Structure 1
Amino acid sequence: MAILINSSQTLFTLQTAHTMYQMKVDEAGVLLHTYYGKKTAVWDYSYRIICEDRGFSGNPYDKGNDRTYSLDALPQEYPSFGSGDYRTSALKVVFPDGSTSCELRFAGVKVRQGKYRIPGLPALYWEEETGAETLEVYMRDTTGQVLVTLIYGVLEELDLITRTAVVENTGKAPICLERVMSTCVDYPGKDWELQTFYGRHVKERTPQRMGLRHGIQSVGSTRGTSSHQQNPFYILCEKTAEEEHGACYGFSLLYSGDFLGEVELDQYDQTRAVLGIHPGNFRYRLEPGGSFSAPEAAMAYAPGGLGNLSQIYHRAYRKHLCRGKYKTARRPVMLNSWEGVYFDFTGEKLLSMAKEAASMGIELFVLDDGWFGKRDTDTSGLGDWTVNEEKLGCTLSELSQRIHRLGMKFGIWFEPEGVSEDSDLYRSHPDWALRIPGKTPVRSRYQLVLDFSRQDVRDYIFGRLCSILDHARIEYVKWDFNRSLCDIYSAVLPPEKQGEVAHRYILGLYEVLERLTDRYPDLLLEGCSGGGGRFDAGMLYYAPQSWCSDDTDAIERLTIQYGTSFGYPISAVGSHVSKCPNEQTGRNTPLETRATVAMAGTFGYELDVNQMTGEEKQAVRRQIEEYRSYYPLIQEGLYFRLTDPEYNDGYHAWEFAAEDKSEALLCVVALKIHPNGPSVLMKVKGLEENGIYLVNHREYPGGVLMEGGIPLPRAKVEYESFRFHIKKIR
Structure 2
Amino acid sequence: MPIFLEKDGKTLHLQNEILSYVISIEKEKYVTHRYWGRRLESFNGSTQLQMIDRGFATNPIPDERVFSLNALPLETSTQQSGDHRISNYTIRSHTNHTRTDFSYKKFEIQTGKKRIEGLPTLEGKDSEVTTLTITLYDDIQKLEMKLFYHLYEQLPVITRHVTFLNYGNQEVFLDNAGSLQVDIASTTFDLLTLYGSHTNEANISRRRLHNGIQKIESTRGVSSPQHQPFLALLNPNTDEFSGEARAFHLIYSGNFQAQVEVEQYGSSRVQLGINAEGFSWKLSPGGKFETPEAVMVYSNQGLNHMSNTFHKLYQEHLCPKPFRNRERPILLNTWEANYFDISEEKCEKLAELASQVGMEMFVLDDGWFGNRMDDTSSLGDWKENKEKLPNGIAGLAEMVRNKGMKFGLWFEPEMISRNSELFKANSDWVIHSPAYSPLEGRRQLVLDLSNREVQDFLINVLTEHLETGKIDYIKWDMNRHLTDIGSAAFPKDQQGEISHRYILGLYRILEKLVKQFPNVLFENCSSGGGRFDPGMMYYMAQNWTSDNTDALCRTKIQYGYSLLYPPIMMAAHVSPVPNHQVGRITSLETRGLVAMSANFGYELNLMDVSKEELTEIENQISFYKQHRKLFQFGEFYRLKSPGEYFETAWMFKNEEEAIVIYFNGVARPAVPVNYLPVNYLDDYATYKEMDTGRMYSGSELNYAGVTIPRVKEDYKTLIYHFIKVNR
Question: What do the CA deviations read for 1:285-331 (whole angstroms, capped 9, x no partner)?
Answer: 00001010000001011111111111110111011110132221111
Are the equivalent residues in 2 in contact too, given 1:335–1:366 (CA < 8 A)?
yes
CA shift digits 1:382-422 (9 cap, x unpaired): 01111112211212111100100000000000111000101
Distance in 1 separating the partners of 2:444 and 2:248 = 34
Structure 1 residue 651, shift from structure 2 partner: 2.9
Question: What stretches of structure 1 of length at least 5 have no aligned partner?
Answer: none
Amino acid at match of 2:69: L
Aligned partner of 2:695 in structure 1 is 699
Distance (Å, rounded) in 2 between the aligned partners of 1:529 and 1:395: 26
* Aligned match of 1:16: 16
1:247–1:302 CA contact under 8 A, matched in 2? yes
CA contact under 8 A between 1:342 and 1:369: conserved in structure 2? yes
Q: CA deviation at 1:80?
A: 2.6
Provide the rounded CA distance (Å) in 1 between the counterparts of 2:591 and 2:624. Answer: 13
Q: Which residue of 2 aligns with 1:680?
A: 674
Counterpart residue number, 1:121 = 119
Comparing 546-555 and 717-726, the one that deviates more:
717-726
Code of the residue aligned with 2:711 in structure 1: it is A
2:662, 2:107 → 1: CA distance?
52
SS for the counterpart of 1:195 is: strand
Q: Is the 8 A contact 1:251 1:299 kept in 2?
A: yes
What secondary structure sits across from 1:452 in the alignment? coil
Taking only aligned residues, the RMSD between alpha carbons, in angstroms, comes to 1.3
Report matched runs for 1:111-260 at 5 Å: 111-127=109-125, 129-260=126-257
Q: What secondary structure does 1:352 align onto?
A: helix
**Once the two structures are superposed, what CA deviation does each residue of 1:414-462 show, in whole Å capped at 9, x if it has no partner?**
1110001010001110100001121122211110100001110010111
Matching of residues 292-307 of structure 1 within 5 Å: 292-307=289-304
**Separation in 2, partners of 1:206, 1:361:** 34
CA distance in 2, matches of 1:44, 1:182: 28
Work out whether residues 400 and 472 of structure 1, in 8 Å CA contact, stay in contact via their aligned partners in 2: no
Native 8 Å contact 1:683 1:710 kept in 2: yes
Matched residue of 1:177: which SS?
Answer: strand
Determine the structure 2 residue equivalent to 1:606.
603
Post-superposition offset of 1:492 = 1.3
Q: Which residue of 2 aligns with 1:666?
A: 660
Question: Are 1:68 and 2:66 an aligned pair?
Answer: yes
Give the distance between the partners of 1:10 and 1:247, measured in 2 at CA: 28
In structure 2, the residue matched to 1:100 is: 98
The alignment covers a number of residue pairs equal to 724
Kindly indicate whether residue 1 of structure 2 is the aligned counterpart of residue 4 of structure 1.
no
**Residue matched to 1:518:** 515
* Distance (whole Å) between structure 2 residues aligned to residue 269 and residue 700 of structure 1: 49
The answer to whether 1:31 aligns with 2:25 is: no
Determine the structure 1 residue equivalent to 2:528: 531
Moved more, 694-703 or 289-298: 694-703
The alpha-carbon distance between structure 1 residues 335 and 93, as it changes in their structure 2 partners (threshold 3 A), is same
Q: 1:51 is matched by which residue type in structure 2? A: M
Hey, what's the Cα distance between the residues in 1 that align with 2:420 and 2:718? 49
- The code of the aligned residue for 2:408 comes to G
Question: What is the letter of the counterpart of residue 510 of structure 2?
Answer: L
Moved more, 281-290 or 433-442: 433-442
Matches within 5 A, 1:473-484: 473-484=470-481
- For the residue of structure 2 that corresponds to 1:498, the secondary structure is helix
2:276 corresponds, among 252, 276, 279, to 279
Whole-Å separation in 1 of the counterparts to 2:382 and 2:196: 32
CA distance in 2, matches of 1:145, 1:635: 51
- Note the C-alpha offset of 1:675: 4.0
Q: Mean Cα displacement is larger for which, 248-257 or 565-574?
A: 565-574
In 1, the alpha carbon distance for the partners of 2:491 and 2:370 equals: 34
AA aligned to 2:26 is: D
Residues 425 and 45 of structure 1, relative CA distance in 2, 3 Å threshold: farther
List gaps (5 residues or longer) in structure 2.
Answer: none
- Contact between 1:71 and 1:85, CA under 8 Å: does it hold in 2? yes
1:118-142 deviations in Å (ceiling 9; x for gaps):
0110111023x41211111101124
- Per-residue deviation, residues 363-394 of structure 1 (Å, max 9, x unmatched): 00000011111111000000111111221121
Task: Report if aligned partners of 1:102, 1:142 keep a CA contact under 8 Å in 2.
Answer: no
On the 8 A contact 1:16/1:160 being kept in 2, the answer is no
The amino acid across from 1:728 in the alignment is K
8 Å CA contact retained: 1:225, 1:257: yes
| 8 Å CA contact 2:571, 2:599 repeated in 1 | yes
Q: How does 1:623-662 map to 2 (within 5 A)?
A: 623-645=620-642, 647-649=643-645, 651-658=647-654, 660=655, 662=656
Instruction: Work out whether residues 166 and 286 of structure 2, in 8 Å CA contact, stay in contact via their aligned partners in 1.
Output: yes
Kindly indicate whether the alpha-carbon contact (under 8 Å) linking 2:6 and 2:44 is maintained by their aligned counterparts in 1.
no
Q: Which moved more, 1:98-107 or 1:445-454?
A: 98-107
Distance 1:619 1:77, change over 3 A: same
Q: Does 1:352 align with 2:346?
A: no
Give the Cα–Cα distance (whole angstroms) in 1 for the partners of residues 319 and 560 of structure 2: 20
| Paired position in structure 2 for 1:714 | 710
How far residue 193 of structure 1 moved from its aligned partner, in angstroms, is: 1.0
Q: Specify the SS of the correspondent of 1:184.
A: strand
1:430 aligned residue (427, 430, 435): 427
- Residues 678-709 of structure 1, C-alpha deviations (whole Å, 9 max, x = no match): 33211112111121111121111111111111
Q: Distance in 2 between matches of 1:670 and 1:529?
A: 30
Give 1:472 deviation, angstroms. 5.0
Distance in structure 1 (CA, Å) of the matches to 2:670 and 2:490: 69
1:85 and 2:67 correspond: no
How much has 1:260 moved relative to structure 2?
A: 0.2
